[in-house]
Structures are given as structure tokens and as C-alpha cells.
Amino acid sequence: MRNPRNDTLGATKASVRPERRPKAVVEGRPAQASEKRPSTSLRTNEVSEGHVPERTCIITRRAAPKEELIRLALGPDGEVAPDVRARAPGRGAWIGVSRDELDEANAKGKLKGALQRAFKTNDVKVPDDLSDKIAAALRQATLDRLGMEARSGNLINGSDRVETAARQGSVHLLIHAADAGEDGRRKLDQAWRVGSDPKILADGNGQGLQFPEERTILSMALGRENVVHIALTDRAAAARVLHALSRWRAFIDPRAGLEDGSAASGQGSADADLTKE
């Protein structure tokens, strides 16, 4: 009988270990040192360290974050329609111009040519009322967003309630109906300035945003009576409403922008907050 201890060096069989392959290879993908999902934080008050998805306006050729642009989609019949929520399947075309600029480009035929190149087809029908349809879609998206935030408990209305919350520093976005009285607006703006962080107000003028519609429309959107002043008490909700409202206002009246109001206070939210239903 052989004594295993007397075996010569190297006579023993080395244990064979199965080859370890990177997990990525096992899954059928090339191995990578590390995989990081890009950050989709908005460039508001929050500093984004990741990639911000951009698109190019087909009219001006200006590149911008896609949440600032408006997507157009091509229907089965070849007619162009607004896709403000960017959910329609297939290829899309992006625009970053105002209503007047769009109408001018459409009248000169520049819009149709740009759309044909974007959709890679000559079978493109541009309706004469495309700008009206876009404005209506942006308006409806804003009203829907306000309604959802109201049902989620992120929104309050009523002069007394808004004033109390504003002085307590609980208001992240203040909105006035188009027909709100000047005295009421000035009173709530002052309350908001009192309760807000001075550093945040330094970036704006400490005034609430003027809604493009009157109180009747706001009341219908929220399912409440006589809605004149609105306050968003949740930071992420304020960012979502501000995004929808700013896109609508920038399209129908680019001079408005955010000049007559301050952005939501505190840190900005991510794209996921903006698109949350």
C-alpha cells in the first residue's frame, strides 16, 4: 500500500477549481468594470452629477433638456399631433419655440420640411391649428397635474389657509388665479416672503406665479369652489406643477416665463417626481 505522505512532490493531483466567469459574461453581456445608471435630476436648485437627456429642436437646432421641449408625434394617417407627455410610440420630433414662432415656421413651410426630416418621410400632414392643439394639450396637462396633486393632499387653497402655511414656511410654490385681486395677491406674497428662506428668495422676486386662467377653471380642475389662490406644500409636488405650468406659459407667452414669480423653494426634484402620476 502506498503511503500518500511518501508521494513525490507534484505527484498529487492539484484540485481543479471551476473557472469563474464575470456575472456579466454569464448573462450574455460583456463584462464591465462598473455600471452606473445616469442621474435624471433636474437642473433646478439640485446639482446634477449625471447625464441630463437632451433633444434638439427641429426648428432652431438648439439642444436642451428634453423636459423643456415639446414632443410631436406622427399619427397613422400621417398627421402631426402634440405628445406633451412624450408617451406616444415611434419616432418623435421635438420643438422648443413659442406659439408665435411655430406659426411663423408653419406659414413659411419651414416646419413641414423639418418634420419630414425628423420623421424620415415625406408623408407628413401639418394641421393649420397645430399651435392651438399644442396649447390645449399643455393646458390640460397642467390642469390634470393640479388635480392629481390636490387629490394626493399636496395642495391647499383658501386665503387664510394659504397665508398660515406660507408664514410657517410650509409653502413651496404659490399660484394666483388670473383674476385674483391685487390686494389678496400682495398679502399672500408678503406672507410667503416672511416664511421662506432668504437665500431661496434671492433667486426670485418673492411673488407667486400668475395662472393663465381665471378662478372658474382652477375650481373645476381641483373639484373645489372659488379657488383663487393655491399653495403647494410638498416640495416634489411643487416641482411637478412648476414644470407643467412653466412649459405651458413659455409656449403661449414666452415673456412670462418665471419672471413674475419665484421657483419652488428648497431642493429640486428628480424627473421621476415630475412624471409621477
The pTM is what? 0.74
Class of the domain covering 141-275: alpha beta
Cell of 197: 428662506
What CA–CA distance (Å, rounded) separates 118 from 106?
Answer: 15
Q: Which helix (H) or strand (E) holds 191?
A: helix 182-195
Give residue 201's pLDDT: 58
Give residue 200's pLDDT: 59
Q: What are phi and psi of 130, to 5 degrees?
A: -60, -40
What CA–CA distance (Å, rounded) separates 74 from 79?
Answer: 6
Domain spans in the chain, listed from the N-terminal domain onward: 54-128, 141-275
How far, in Å, are 62, 82, 109, 221, 229 from residue 133 at the CA level? 23, 7, 18, 19, 27
Burial 150-164 (b: 16+ CB within 10 A, else e): beeebbbbbeeebbb
Give residue 197's pLDDT: 74
Cell of 253: 407667452
pLDDT (tens digit, 0 to 9) for every residue of the chain, 277 residues total? 445 454 444 444 444 455 554 443 334 444 443 333 333 333 333 334 467 899 999 999 999 999 999 999 999 999 999 999 999 999 999 999 999 999 999 999 999 999 999 999 999 999 999 999 999 999 999 999 999 999 999 999 999 999 999 999 999 999 999 999 999 999 999 999 999 877 655 555 678 999 999 999 999 999 999 999 999 999 999 999 999 999 999 999 877 643 344 443 333 333 444 434 4
What CA–CA distance (Å, rounded) separates 129 from 136?
Answer: 11
Cell of 25: 459574461
Are 174 and 229 spatial neighbours (Cβ–Cβ below 8 Å)? yes
Give residue 255's pLDDT: 73
Residue with cell 406674497: 189
DSSP notation for 108-168: TTHHHHHHHHHHT-S--B--TTHHHHHHHHHHHHHHHHHHHHHHTT-EEESHHHHHHHHHT
The CATH number of the structural domain formed by 54-128 is: 3.30.1230.10
Give residue 44's pLDDT: 35
Give residue 206's pLDDT: 76
Give residue 254's pLDDT: 78
